[in-house]
Structure 1
């Protein structure tokens, strides 16, 4: 049937739909919720414009009125619970609630709401969304929502009502609150942990630095004492033995031999003491100092036998620092090799190649002497000592020699 406004009413088995031909809008009329279930059978309009609907339970009367423009449904917040405890909310509802800051364990929040449009028998549904989201939740007739297991952070949750004609609330209801992070995730706690960690690292650094400085001071003191005291006394013994020998020039051959032995032993001790002082002196830790020391020893030793020295050394890593053990063991290997060339090789030329590349030390000492069978068993301890010193530095030691073709000693140290 049709009313005087031109709106068409269509009765179905369960309800009555009103169609506005001008807009195409269809609205379901809830004529009365108090009547028992019934089925609509017929519809008519009387002379006064009243609409009558015949149902299985009798007649239903409906007085159509001129519709005012539909208004968006308003929504109000009516109740909030945190961990099951009700919070203070206005008895007539409110459109915005700012909750106090919540503890980490207060992460279960229930929010109740209602639309005033529901009082006019509108088919109202509800939606919500978080501030971080762009899409609203699917429409639901439930008038509450329960959020459980919320993580820490700032929250802003909006709610709106959707009426039967798809009008939505102009002003959503808003609930805002903040859940604190656990203690171990709070900024001040993390800053404190970082500060403690930095202080620990700095303390360890200072402790390590003080130890190194203490060791360096000790090494300097020992080197000074050895040089000034023991070295001076050994030199004095050598000189005195020469003086005694001169004063007793007519003495027995045995006494002269003993004096010569004392002088030689003193000179050798002075030389060994000089090596020790050089090795432990922290001011002589560089590669450049190692090169100078090697060159000086080789020149002094080989010049006595008129052996030509060719010394090749790259100074690209001249300022690189070497550990005390590396300097001492490598220099002793070098001394032993040069001394062997002087004593046993019967050579006329010795070539030294010293290089530092990629954090590794390469040392080669080659002579053009008589050579020997390197595969045979060595009777002395010199070669075994050199190999042991190289292995002590986690290095490699190799000796290449052939009778009549000279000898080459190769050392490679990986850990400087």
Structure 2
């Protein structure tokens, strides 16, 4: 006897006020509310299929959303190892016990699709543990997966975070729907909210996007289910039945148990015989739902008629999306160089255009129209010495491979052999394993890649055709030697491990990005001809609505990408695509480069001539400056010899004559003349030393100047009544000084000291020198008689010394008054050091 159960619910976000459990309608095949405390669980479909087996720790009567009664927890097991096939996980079956063998747990007439083959499968769920942390092989939602030749479908959540619907080998249909469950945004996966997961098939066999996946976080204000991806079912299901289960798979045989338990709660499981509209689910208010009849009426009125206009979805330039021109006649302009161009184009995703062929051409590269292919692919390209593609062969993966079961881990590899043409001028070969256009989804794995000469399969031209396990390949982001990841999402390219070995793989559930493995290897020159490309493969690939055309190493030039849809062999369908593309040539190939190069050359020659003339003029000016300086030095030396030494020699001559005259007549007076001659001779020697010091280059430094001034002051006041005090730094830098600068400064100081000696009387004189890095300050201060500078006019050497200082660009200041002494300050900026 079926016993409904009403239990209190956990606190959850409030939904719409009219939220209620699903109510059977004319398209409901099965509906399980799962509100009972224990099995059996009632089916409200016609004919009903009650569920009798609640096994391996599955627990009924768990709190569900308000208005939905109770749910069942599948987060339990009855033994086995986590993440392996022998895990006996919680499960809900049609029969009281699992059955191993050809017997199914549902009768042959069990309905799981409608009259036209269409269906919608949906569940309400809540995670206790996220799939990546659950320690299970996969998280089963609903399956019909038997032990023998009765494997029909699997609707589940993969550990990697994908929602997947997988047609199995015995259901009569191939294909796949795989989409990434959101991890951010309003429908992001978590362990606190309830979610609605659904898959629908519209009954249009073999048409792209006839499978749709929905993932919706349940909350207020929803008007339709959140579509996360699409896929393809190659044909309607045949009607074969298998072991039906909720919350797991019912595939039980030796070494295999119920290994895909759902790590949380499941409620409200429904199977419908139509592809329900995204608004036709229980969480949408009834007034806003579009029933199957309403959708059919819209289509019959033409509202849902297909739009066969082609659209250019995206252009990738070197794996990055280009900004397409906004105007219909706009041109896509690219920088110079060789570019890889990927064009993604097709009809609107919901158009039933499965029999329509698309052809494309890159005018300027292709000589003829190419028929496009969808799906993933292995591409072999021959490259010349300039890395340009001179030959290309593409081998698609679409649908399922022979030996495909449920996933990469349990599918067998099959060998594939294809011919490839390698031109004689080939310098390298490139293999690319590509996931194709962004909306292509599925799984591909390849191994044992080889390129051989026909009849000589034992010797391969291709190295690293098998993946060697190492520290590099064992990491999640590792790459086998010689291979590199590429694409808008390189994480799609993976290394998978099975049976102790590694395989190149693509695992793509993201309908916005693509991934790629690629490798380039050099070959010996002259090895042209037809070769054999072989590999082992396993795949299950669902192509989307987009087609991809790829052109590698497109050189600079003007091109036009064209695409057109054909309803028959030659009748165009709708408007085609036309996109002009200009790849700029290198700057040296542009029209302005030649004239600019000529003008630049002329300008460089002219500039060179001007620079040469300026250097010559500069050298001449330097020579003139040197000659002028030399002349000035010679003039100064001549003037000093005449004014100072000449005068002193004249005094000696005159005094000698006087002494000679008075020698006999007045010997005392003659002796006085001789004493005067002695003093004059001594002064002459000092003057000669000063002159030699002034012209000797060895003394052209600041420290030598300071030493000279010190010696000068000591000698001048040695036998006088004036006491000299010196304040001159003991250490000064050897800063270079010119002879003219030293000469004028030393003479100005000497004249100033001489004035003190002659006019100040018995006193003290203070001589100090300061240097701040840029200028010299010399201070001469005495405590003598002093004088009035205005009254004395130009006497006391008051004009010669200032004139000398002004000549070298300095300043000479004097401050004196009778009875208060005199202070003289000389400031001279040092000349710039020559560079």
TM-score with structure 2 length normalisation? Answer: 0.28
1:288-303 mapped onto 2 (5 Å cutoff): 288-303=703-718
**Alignment gaps of 5+ in structure 1:** 1-18, 28-65, 78-154
1:109-120 mapped onto 2 (5 Å cutoff): none
1:288 Cα deviation after fit: 1.3
Corresponding position: 1:399 with 2:814: yes
Higher relative contact order (CA 8 A, sep 6+): 2
Other-structure match for 1:75: 363
Instruction: List per-residue Cα deviations over 1:117-174 (Å, max 9, x = no partner).
Output: xxxxxxxxxxxxxxxxxxxxxxxxxxxxxxxxxxxxxx934321456635357x9686
User: Which is further off, 398-407 or 171-180?
Assistant: 171-180
Instruction: List per-residue Cα deviations over 1:250-289 (Å, max 9, x = no partner).
Output: 4436666665665555544443333222212211111111
1:399 Cα deviation after fit: 1.0
Separation in structure 2 between the aligned mates of residue 173 and residue 270 of structure 1, nearest angstrom: 91
SS at match of 1:398: strand
Other-structure match for 2:596: 182
Corresponding position: 1:24 with 2:307: yes
Check the 8 A contact 1:76/1:173 in 2, yes or no: no
Other-structure match for 2:419: none
Check the 8 A contact 2:701/2:734 in 1, yes or no: yes
User: Which is further off, 193-202 or 349-358?
Assistant: 193-202
Check the 8 A contact 1:286/1:320 in 2, yes or no: yes
SS at match of 1:70: strand
Other-structure match for 2:556: 156
**Alignment gaps of 5+ in structure 2:** 1-301, 311-353, 366-554, 564-573
Aligned counterpart in structure 2 of residue 165 of structure 1, from 575, 582, 593: 575
1:398 Cα deviation after fit: 1.1
Check the 8 A contact 1:241/1:260 in 2, yes or no: no
Between structures 1 and 2, the one with greater strand share: 2
Separation in structure 1 between the aligned mates of residue 763 and residue 709 of structure 2, nearest angstrom: 19
Separation in structure 2 between the aligned mates of residue 388 and residue 239 of structure 1, nearest angstrom: 31
Check the 8 A contact 1:72/1:168 in 2, yes or no: no
Between structures 1 and 2, the one with greater helix share: 1
Aligned counterpart in structure 1 of residue 697 of structure 2, from 272, 275, 282: 282
Aligned counterpart in structure 1 of residue 800 of structure 2, from 364, 367, 385: 385
1:4-19 mapped onto 2 (5 Å cutoff): none
Using a 3 Å threshold, how does the CA distance of structure 1 residues 255 and 248 change in structure 2: closer, same or farther?
closer
1:331 Cα deviation after fit: 1.0
User: Which is further off, 406-415 or 368-377?
Assistant: 368-377
1:77-156 mapped onto 2 (5 Å cutoff): 156=556
SS at match of 1:387: helix
SS at match of 2:360: coil
When the two chains are superposed, the root-mean-square deviation of aligned CA atoms in Å is: 4.8
SS at match of 2:769: strand
SS at match of 1:404: coil
SS at match of 1:165: strand
1:241 Cα deviation after fit: 7.3
Separation in structure 2 between the aligned mates of residue 351 and residue 303 of structure 1, nearest angstrom: 14
Check the 8 A contact 1:393/1:415 in 2, yes or no: no
Other-structure match for 1:40: none
Using a 3 Å threshold, how does the CA distance of structure 1 residues 160 and 196 change in structure 2: closer, same or farther?
same
1:353 Cα deviation after fit: 0.7
SS at match of 1:321: coil
1:134-283 mapped onto 2 (5 Å cutoff): 156-162=556-562, 165-168=575-578, 176=585, 177-178=589-590, 179=592, 180=594, 182-183=596-597, 186=600, 250-252=664-666, 264-283=679-698
1:312 Cα deviation after fit: 1.1
Check the 8 A contact 1:73/1:162 in 2, yes or no: yes
Check the 8 A contact 1:238/1:267 in 2, yes or no: no
Using a 3 Å threshold, how does the CA distance of structure 1 residues 395 and 23 change in structure 2: closer, same or farther?
same
Instruction: List per-residue Cα deviations over 1:349-376 (Å, max 9, x = no partner).
Output: 2111111213111000111112222343
Separation in structure 2 between the aligned mates of residue 217 and residue 390 of structure 1, nearest angstrom: 20
